[in-house]
């Protein structure tokens, strides 16, 4: 009897193991009505989770029966998580990310018009709508934006007897030399794998260069880009940058800028609250347009993150997703997020609210002339990956033309 019992227990145990092993670890799919959705949000800083918790509580109170499960993911983990979710068919209903076009290409996400009201759709600033399109249709929902400008240390400029920020590349070179002679680093150049593509594009666009030609084909090894990279290499080789730009990330440059040890660096709206204020609230710095080769016209690097809504069997999550997104995109809720996190608006209604702050206004004003990375091209992620890994070599021991040729090849292979 006892033996039989033990045997039965063993069989039962293995059965239980087998069942739990095969059971699908589903966190969103178990809701049959489609009224519960899962939202994966990126952690921008310590305030992000508090904001979403509050917003979701509000949303659930105003929409009885609907429920939003929040999952916060660090940017460091984001790429890995998103790929895993998609691969294991556990994509969230709404995702906060920096890319959308490969989801659109693979038919995984809704078009924008399917998941937000016409009012919200028409509130997006046209610049950003263009960036959120894949093959002419808008899929991404612009979420936040950011722009880059030249930060310069006024005290170091005075010490080096420079009276205004540089407008042309020749002036950058000359000013950097003077600052170096005054005992500081002239220009902080972060070309490490963290965000080499943004730093490089900030310079290339102001020389008429870029990632694609007028027909939208990859043109990474075009003459203007080679010229740009050669200029950055010359800056490095003349010793006016910090040592080894190819392994430097932005945090290192901004920290040294905040300590008053770097004369110039390219930064964004977040640079003040994120780096300068914590180190030295009284740093005497100014913000100027990005220098261009000829010194006359100046473009700005624009950056945009998006929300994307994933399809679920037969579109049964559509109603819940639409309610949630419309709720977030109300002027009050979305501008609250921007102010909290120090980002720029993507909607017309949130725009005016931010222009009141003179520091932020400089960035808001720069947005209309901003150039974006080709995020509508699904191959961009792979190209950006190649740029991050390889571009820095050009200012170390590589040859600018050869490095760009290599990245061009990767881009053409990726599509």
Partner 1 sequence: MDGVSIAGRGAPASRPARLLARLRVLLAPLPWLAPALLLIGAVVLWPVVEMVRTSFLAISSSGATLGGAGTRNYKDLFDEPDLGAVLLRTLLWVVGIVVITTVLSLALGQLLNARFPGRRVVRWAVIVPWAASVLMTALIWRWMLDNDSGVVNRLLLDLGLVDEPVNWLAHPGQAMAWMMAVAVFVTLPFTSFVILAGLQSIPPEVYEAARVDGASGWTTYLRITLPLLRPALLIGTIINCINVFNNFPIIWSMTQGGPQHATDTSTTFTYKIAFFDQHVGESAAMAVVNFALVLFMVALYLRAARRSGATS
Strand partners, 26: none
Task: State how far the Cα of 344 lies from the Cα of 352, in Å rounded to an integer.
Answer: 11
- Measured from the CB atom, the residue of 167 and 403 that comes closer to partner 1 is 403
Which helix (H) or strand (E) element contains residue 231? helix 223-237
Cα–chain center distance at 38: 22
CB 183 within 8 A of CB 363: no
Mutual orientation of helices 196-204 and 380-390 as an angle, nearest 10°?
A: 90
Counts of helices then strands in the chain (DSSP H, E): 20, 11
Question: Which pair of tokens denotes residue 74?
Answer: 């660090």
Task: State how far the Cα of 78 lies from the Cα of 191, in Å rounded to an integer.
Answer: 22
Minimal distance in Å, beta carbon 16 to partner 1? 9
- Relative to beta strand 300-309, strand 141-153 is antiparallel
Question: Which pair of tokens denotes residue 144?
Answer: 């936040």
Mutual orientation of helices 223-237 and 400-414 as an angle, nearest 10°?
A: 140
- Measured from the CB atom, the residue of 66 and 134 that comes closer to partner 1 is 134
Strand partners, 21: none
- Measured from the CB atom, the residue of 199 and 390 that comes closer to partner 1 is 390
Minimal distance in Å, beta carbon 86 to partner 1? 3
Which of 376, 345, 323, 346 is CA-nearest to residue 116? 323
- Measured from the CB atom, the residue of 162 and 387 that comes closer to partner 1 is 387
Minimal distance in Å, beta carbon 55 to partner 1? 27
Minimal distance in Å, beta carbon 380 to partner 1? 9
- Measured from the CB atom, the residue of 166 and 378 that comes closer to partner 1 is 378
- Measured from the CB atom, the residue of 342 and 392 that comes closer to partner 1 is 392
Which helix (H) or strand (E) element contains residue 402? helix 400-414
Minimal distance in Å, beta carbon 103 to partner 1? 5
Minimal distance in Å, beta carbon 176 to partner 1? 18
Minimal distance in Å, beta carbon 77 to partner 1? 11
- Measured from the CB atom, the residue of 193 and 374 that comes closer to partner 1 is 193
The footprint of partner 1 (CB under 8 A) covers: 7, 10-11, 13-14, 17-18, 21, 79-80, 82-87, 102-103, 105-106, 108, 192-193, 242-244, 246-247, 252, 256, 378-379, 381-382, 385-386, 388-390, 392-393, 396, 410, 414
């Amino acid at each position: 009897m006892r033996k039989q019992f033990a045997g039965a227990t063993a069989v039962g145990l293995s059965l239980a193991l087998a069942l739990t092993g095969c059971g699908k670890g589903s966190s969103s799919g178990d809701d049959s009505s489609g009224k519960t959705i899962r939202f994966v949000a990126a952690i921008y800083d310590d305030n992000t989770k508090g904001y979403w918790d509050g917003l979701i509580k509000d949303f659930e109170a105003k929409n009885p029966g609907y429920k939003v499960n929040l999952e916060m993911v660090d940017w460091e983990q984001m790429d890995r998580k998103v790929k895993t979710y998609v691969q294991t068919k556990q994509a969230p209903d709404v995702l906060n990310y920096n890319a959308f076009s490969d989801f659109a290409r693979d038919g995984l996400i809704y078009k924008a018009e399917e998941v937000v009201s016409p009012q919200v759709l028409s509130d997006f600033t046209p610049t950003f709508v263009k960036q959120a399109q894949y093959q002419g249709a808008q899929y991404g929902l612009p979420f936040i934006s950011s722009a880059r400008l030249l930060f310069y240390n006024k005290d170091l400029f005075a010490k080096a007897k420079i009276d205004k920020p540089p407008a042309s590349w020749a002036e950058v070179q000359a000013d950097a030399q003077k600052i170096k002679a005054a005992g500081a680093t002239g220009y902080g150049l972060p070309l490490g794998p963290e965000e080499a593509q943004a730093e490089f594009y900030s310079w290339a666009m102001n020389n008429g260069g870029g990632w694609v030609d007028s027909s939208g084909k990859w043109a990474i090894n075009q003459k203007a880009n080679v010229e740009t990279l050669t200029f950055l290499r010359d800056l490095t080789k003349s010793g006016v940058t910090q040592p080894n730009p190819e392994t430097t990330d932005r945090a290192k440059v901004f920290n040294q800028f905040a300590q008053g040890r770097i004369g110039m660096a390219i930064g964004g709206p977040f640079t003040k609250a994120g780096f300068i204020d914590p180190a030295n609230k009284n740093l005497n710095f100014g913000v100027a347009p990005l220098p261009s080769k000829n010194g006359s016209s100046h473009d700005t690097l624009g950056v945009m993150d998006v929300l994307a809504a994933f399809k679920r069997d037969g579109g049964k999550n559509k109603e819940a997703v639409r309610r949630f997104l419309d709720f977030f995109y109300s002027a009050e809720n979305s501008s609250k997020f921007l102010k909290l996190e120090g980002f720029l608006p993507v909607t017309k209604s949130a725009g005016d609210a931010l222009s009141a702050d003179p520091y932020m206004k400089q960035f808001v004003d720069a947005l209309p002339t901003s150039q974006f990375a080709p995020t509508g091209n699904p191959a961009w992620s792979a190209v950006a990956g190649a740029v991050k890994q390889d571009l820095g070599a050009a200012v170390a021991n590589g040859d600018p033309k050869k490095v760009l040729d290599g990245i061009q090849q990767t881009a053409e292979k990726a599509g």
